Chain A
Amino acid sequence: MTPTPTPTPIAEPTPTTTTDRERLLRLMSRMTGAEKHSPAAHSTLDALWVLYDRVLRVGPGTAADQDRDRFLLSKGHGPMAYYAVLAAKGFLDPGLLPGFGSYHSPLGHHPDRLLLPGVEISSGSLGHGLPLAVGTALGLRAQGLTDPAVWVLTGDAELDEGSNHEAVEFAGAAGLNRLHTVVIDNSSATHGWRGGIASRFAAAGWSTATVDGRDHAALYAAFTAPHPDRPHAVVAVVEPKN
């Protein structure tokens, strides 16, 4: 395993600006070798940034605290935006970005939580993050930790996996109010979703919101909407993949 790099100091969170996005894109441009996943990587960029910049109560210094918020990247494909945001927030040394995908790099084309502090789950295979997040929310509740939020990011096509539906139904029935899902909808599901993605979550008893996945103010409002007694799903619509 590569020695853990010293986190780069970062500035305090600032209001979202074009400059933030340009900085993230510059960080992403330092990673090469997985162009096939490039649309997947860009689709998550704004939602990830708003979460890490303004919503999640976790940072490099608190990444091992038991009462931290958890962010689980289920959509492990195209993790460049994720790595860029983690680098911008000081979880990882930006100098590691050019090594993306190489043998000794901790930055794979799918993330490995054992190689990168701050990464909550190892992902890549579709349909695992949301069920893992359900267990994480249950585990925190079983220990009396009712404050930390659990967030999981999936894609619309990933929702085709039946394992997600087991998780969605159960989380709604169990009223896991600290569980949150962000669905990045770039219209990549082969057969689409009759009635829209949010309707499936709503039918299972979730609170839902559907917003422009590029609009930071709309994302922030949706992420922070109150949802007592029920889990919360935010469908972030971005430009179609193809």
Chain B
Amino acid sequence: MRDRFITTATALLDEDPRLAVVLADISAAGFEPARAAHPDRVINVGIREQLLISAAGGLALTGIRPLVHTFASFLVERPFEQVKLDLVHQDVGAVLVSALGSYDWPAGGRTHMSPGDVALLDTLPGWTVHVPGHPDEAELLLRDAAADDGLVYLRLSEHQNSEPQPVAQGRFLTLRQGSRGTVVAVGPMLDAVLAATAGLELTVLYAATVRPFDGAALRAAVAAGGGPAEVVLVEPYLAGTSVPAANAALDQLPHRVLGLGVAQEELRHYGTMAEHLAAHGLDAASLRARISSWLG
């Protein structure tokens, strides 16, 4: 997905003079051709992540639409006050595009994992959060975000599904219908969720955009299922991040919500993405066991 971001953003710079790419060394080599073509609109501030976000705020104050990119740990967590003040409080827009999510590079250890990024952005108003599950979805959502004016977080990951889905910005897709409950699969969790729920009479919704949360789709899925409002969220970041949003969507109904995702505790293991997904109970077999047990 990171490669697709580079090729798409490079093309967008040619098409739209309002756009700039702002980097902090990460992916700078990939943007070298774009920098050569647009030296004033491909800006690498060096390893300076506070400046990365603040400079994006300053660019936006002049009418530029900045596409701001580095690893999620350094894009959201490290300069969080800059995100809060130099984008949100200044009332300017930007597109933050991360790479490496919660478990993409386990051999890199905790310093390069950011399972709390979406939860952190939930403390601020106005963010649209895209969590694509495939490079084709990432490209579409990036193009939409570049043409928009608001605050957008595009969370790119090495983890992806085998096939793209026909995503529409802000809408959950209904991939299966069943009567025993509803599972919302976010972005790259879809393949595992589809495998885990095979034959279980569950509705499966797919979310490539989680903020705003498509509460109407969730309510419709619960109503169409005809059964009790039993909802499972499967997210590739901190477990439970979207539970408040699901609760808000269902506040007029008796309901139960189970939030699955990355555990808050540090694993303190290196290894592979597959090992970390299994350790967090997010592989298909673990998900099937946890969902079946919870539904009873």
Query: What A residues does B128 contact at CB under 8 A?
Result: none
| Contact pick for A142, options B20, B46, B57, CB 8 Å | B20
Query: What A residues does B85 contact at CB under 8 A?
Result: 122, 125, 128
Query: What B residues does A9 contact at CB under 8 A?
Result: none
Q: Are B45 and A136 in contact (CB under 8 A)?
A: no
Within 8 A of A (CB), among B41-61: 41, 43, 45-46, 48, 50-51, 54-61
Query: What A residues does B143 contact at CB under 8 A?
Result: none
Q: Are A66 and B63 in contact (CB under 8 A)?
A: yes
Contact flags A88-124 to B (C-beta < 8 A → 1, else 0): 0000000000000000000000000110000011100
Within 8 A of A (CB), among B88-147: 89-91
Q: Are A128 and B59 in contact (CB under 8 A)?
A: no
Which among A160-168, A204-212, A223-231 touches the partner chain?
A160-168
B81 within 8 A of A: yes
B residues at A contact (CB < 8 Å): 17, 20, 40-41, 43, 45-46, 48, 50-51, 54-64, 66, 81-82, 85-86, 89-91
Within 8 A of B (CB), among A124-160: 125, 127-128, 131-143, 145
Q: Are A133 and B90 in contact (CB under 8 A)?
A: no
Most buried by A among B56, B62, B85: B62
Query: What B residues does A135 contact at CB under 8 A?
Result: 54-62, 66
Q: Are A170 and B45 in contact (CB under 8 A)?
A: yes
* CB-based closest 9 A-B pairs: A135-B58, A131-B54, A139-B62, A135-B55, A166-B48, A166-B51, A136-B58, A139-B59, A163-B50
Give the residue name and chain of the A residue nearest to B81 (CB).
A125
Q: Are B86 and A132 in contact (CB under 8 A)?
A: yes
Query: What A residues does B60 contact at CB under 8 A?
Result: 135, 139
Query: What B residues does A141 contact at CB under 8 A?
Result: 40
Q: How far is the CA of A169 from the CA of B55 in the complex (A)?
A: 13
Q: Are A139 and B61 in contact (CB under 8 A)?
A: yes
Query: What B residues does A136 contact at CB under 8 A?
Result: 58-59, 61-62
Query: What B residues does A125 contact at CB under 8 A?
Result: 81, 85
Contacts A139-B58, A163-B50 given: A131-B86 contact, CB under 8 Å? yes
A25 CB, min distance to chain B CBs, angstroms: 31
Q: Are A138 and B90 in contact (CB under 8 A)?
A: no
Q: Are A137 and B51 in contact (CB under 8 A)?
A: no
Q: Are B89 and A138 in contact (CB under 8 A)?
A: no
Number of A-B contacts (CB under 8 A): 100
Q: How far is the CA of A137 from the CA of B54 in the complex (A)?
A: 12
B295 CB, min distance to chain A CBs, angstroms: 47
Most buried by A among B43, B45, B51, B56: B51
Q: How far is the CA of A138 from the CA of B64 in the complex (A)?
A: 10
A residues at B contact (CB < 8 Å): 66, 113-114, 120-122, 125, 127-128, 131-143, 145, 162-163, 166-167, 169-170, 173
Contacts A125-B85, A170-B48 given: A138-B61 contact, CB under 8 Å? no
Q: How far is the CA of A161 from the CA of B61 in the complex (A)?
A: 22
| Contact pick for A128, options B61, B64, B82, CB 8 Å | B82
Contacts A122-B85, A138-B43 given: A128-B63 contact, CB under 8 Å? no
Q: Are A142 and B64 in contact (CB under 8 A)?
A: yes
Q: Are A121 and B40 in contact (CB under 8 A)?
A: no
Q: How far is the CA of A170 from the CA of B48 in the complex (A)?
A: 9
A216 CB, min distance to chain B CBs, angstroms: 29
Contacts A113-B90, A170-B46 given: A131-B51 contact, CB under 8 Å? yes
Q: Are A134 and B62 in contact (CB under 8 A)?
A: no
A54 CB, min distance to chain B CBs, angstroms: 24
Sample of 15 further A-B pairs with CB below 8 A, known A131-B50, A142-B64, A166-B48: A114-B91, A122-B89, A128-B85, A132-B57, A132-B86, A132-B90, A135-B60, A136-B59, A138-B40, A138-B43, A138-B58, A139-B20, A141-B40, A142-B40, A170-B51
Q: How far is the CA of A8 from the CA of B72 in the complex (A)?
A: 48
Most buried by B among A120, A125, A138: A138
A137 CB, min distance to chain B CBs, angstroms: 7
Query: What A residues does B61 contact at CB under 8 A?
Result: 120-121, 132, 135-136, 139
Query: What A residues does B50 contact at CB under 8 A?
Result: 127, 131, 162-163, 166
Q: Are A163 and B51 in contact (CB under 8 A)?
A: yes
Q: Are A134 and B81 in contact (CB under 8 A)?
A: no
Q: Are A167 and B51 in contact (CB under 8 A)?
A: yes
Q: Are B51 and A143 in contact (CB under 8 A)?
A: no
